[in-house]
Amino acid sequence: MNFNRRRHESVDSPSLSSLIDVVFLLLAYFVLTAAFALPERALTPAISVDGQGADASAEVEPQIVRVRNQRGQVVYQLGAQTHMTLESLRSSLRKLPQDPGLVIKAEAGTPFGAGAGAIQAGRDVGFQDITWSADGDES
Amino acid sequence: MRLGRGHPARRTPDLTPMVDVIFLLIVFFLAAARLEQDRREPVDLPQQAGEMEQKRREGLVLTLLADGTLRIAGVSRDIEALPALLAEASRDGMPSVTLRANREVDVVVIHRVIRLLARSGVPGVEMAVAPGGAS
């Protein structure tokens, strides 16, 4: 009888326990990091200060979107038009030429999110040149 | 009789624990690096689609909380100290600036920050937004 052969086979077979450990650890790692890494994106406007960043030699006037607080509600004013929603603002922006660019001027008392919405509306309709203009008044 | 010529006792050390430990260390460093990368203060960002993926760990990240507090790398800072911080950070060229501001913060605070950035020569900022809401 040859008992040696069977004994050698059992000794030489690799242990899978460490492999399984590692596979489960990697699985746990990717599950955890996927849950933590919430997506974050960015809007990239140029910045300027009222009365200081304007290019006097520019031949075309940039179009200005004013973000205002009107009786407790945020509105977007584009020339003589007042828009209550971003969708309405987008519709008007689509009709404008894009070469002059777009300037966003948010007034005191409006939340940052409303200004970001105006930038997004400009980007959505294809404006490449968008500037966030800060109020030059220090007070 | 040749008692000593049988199969020698197997003295090969068991490598299983060592492999376990090595992989645990790898996973630890991977996780630590990833968590370091994602160590962003939770801010209720504006809910917008954005235009580009936000770059990570590059440049200066300014976090503006709902009460107008400016935090940089987890430390509260005076907004008026921004020019000095920028001057220090721009020795090797102007850094990119990311503004992570709470969506409810009054634009008066944003304007203060923008004024200081613009006067320090920063041409533009990345304004962080959250496609899926708060982050």
Which residues from chain B sit within 8 angstroms of residue A32, using beta carbons?
31
Bridging pattern class, strands B75-77 and B70-72: antiparallel
Measured distance between the N- and C-terminal CA atoms of chain A, rounded to whole angstroms:
100
Q: Above 0.90 for ipTM, yes or no?
A: no
Within-domain flag for A25: yes
Q: Give B43-91 pLDDT, tens digit per residue.
A: 899 999 998 776 655 688 899 999 999 999 888 999 998 988 888 887 7
Query: A41 vs B52: CB contact, 8 Å cut-off?
Result: yes
Domain count for chain A, please give it: 2
Q: Give B1-49 pLDDT, tens digit per residue.
A: 555 555 556 677 777 788 778 878 887 887 777 665 556 788 899 999 9
Q: What is the dihedral of CA B54, A43, B124, A90, to 10 degrees?
A: 170
Which residues from chain A sit within 8 angstroms of residue B108, using beta carbons?
108-109, 135
State whether A24 and A78 are in the same domain. Answer: no
For residue A62, the domain's CATH number is: 3.30.420.270
The CA distance from A40 to B65, in Å, is 16
What is the set of domains in chain B, with CATH numbers? 60-127 (3.30.420.270)
State whether A29 and A53 are in the same domain. Answer: no
Low-confidence ranges of chain A (pLDDT < 70): 1-12, 33-38, 51-60, 136-139
Within-domain flag for A117: yes
Measured distance between the N- and C-terminal CA atoms of chain B, rounded to whole angstroms:
78
Q: What is the domain range of residue A14?
A: 4-36
Query: A138 vs B115: CB contact, 8 Å cut-off?
Result: yes
Within-domain flag for A139: no
The CA distance from B74 to B65, in Å, is 11
State whether A114 and A59 are in the same domain. Answer: yes
- The pair of three-digit structure tokens given for residue B96, joined into one six-digit string: 């990119």
Which residues from chain B sit within 8 angstroms of residue A44, using beta carbons?
51-52, 124-127
CA B110 to chain centre: 22
Query: A106 vs B30: CB contact, 8 Å cut-off?
Result: no
Q: Which of B10, B44, B55, B107 should be substituted to probe chain A, the one whose Cβ sees the most A Cβ atoms within 10 Å? A: B107
